[in-house]
Amino acid sequence: MATKAGQGPEKSAGTGIDAAQAPRRNRSARNPQRTHAAILDAATAEFAAHGFGGARVDAIAARAQTNKRMLYHYFGDKEGLYLAVLEATYAQIRSAEKNLDLANRNPEQGMRELALFTWHHFLDHPEFLSLLVTENLHQARYLKRSEKILAMHSHFIAELAGVLRRGEAAGVFRPSVDPVSVYLTVAALGFFYLSNRHTLSTIFARKLTAPEALKAWGEHIVSVTLASIRA
């Protein structure tokens, strides 16, 4: 049917949807990877903003521009979706750390890059910190169900241990440094600063969120980390 002058595009029968738009929407509905990713992104934002208890499945579906049926199809239930969000969030930082190529770096330079990377990841992904707070309030109840978490972290710790062993062999790091303790040092210095930045800024009358303050704290993390492991 030809479109009459002055009228909009032809509508699909009985739907009120532009015929030109219908194929695009159908293609989107038939793209499971895109739908899966959209739900995961929406759920990450919702859980980070409201915690597990406050997050609503209806809100997640609306954010993802899909329906609850698709959410349940891909993730089973709210708990399954929350666990998938946790796993994806950890996988993101572990995957990005691989790009540091620690195994082929000078040990001290490798540790510096790891400390700064962790700090900037925390800055760039505040949702990660929010999810950590939520899951710790639940005493890692949901994370303990994951079959993926231990594997991805074992690989990372093994790589960090290799850097420390090479530094020890070169005489720049103390012997038998525990890689988990080193990572806890880096993560703790970044996490405490950011999770308490508002109260600390008020208490000490110092704007801890200013760009120069954030840059200085990143260098401080590097200095403390290296000082704790140097021979």
* Chain segment 95-118, per-residue pLDDT in tens: 999 899 998 999 999 999 999 999
Percent of the chain past pLDDT 90, that is, above it, reads: 82
Per-residue pLDDT reduced to its tens digit, 8-27: 444 444 434 444 444 444 44
Check if the beta carbon of residue 125 is closer than 8 Å to that of residue 174.
no
For residue 32, name the pLDDT band (cuts at 50, 70, 90): confident
Domain ranges, residue 88: 82-229
pTM recorded for the entire structure: 0.83
CATH number of the CATH domain containing 170: 1.10.357.10
Please tell me whether residues 125 and 221 are part of one structural domain.
yes
**Of 169, 195, 182, nearest to 224 (Cα)?**
182
| 64 and 88 inside one domain | no
Please check whether residues 50 and 154 belong to one and the same domain.
no
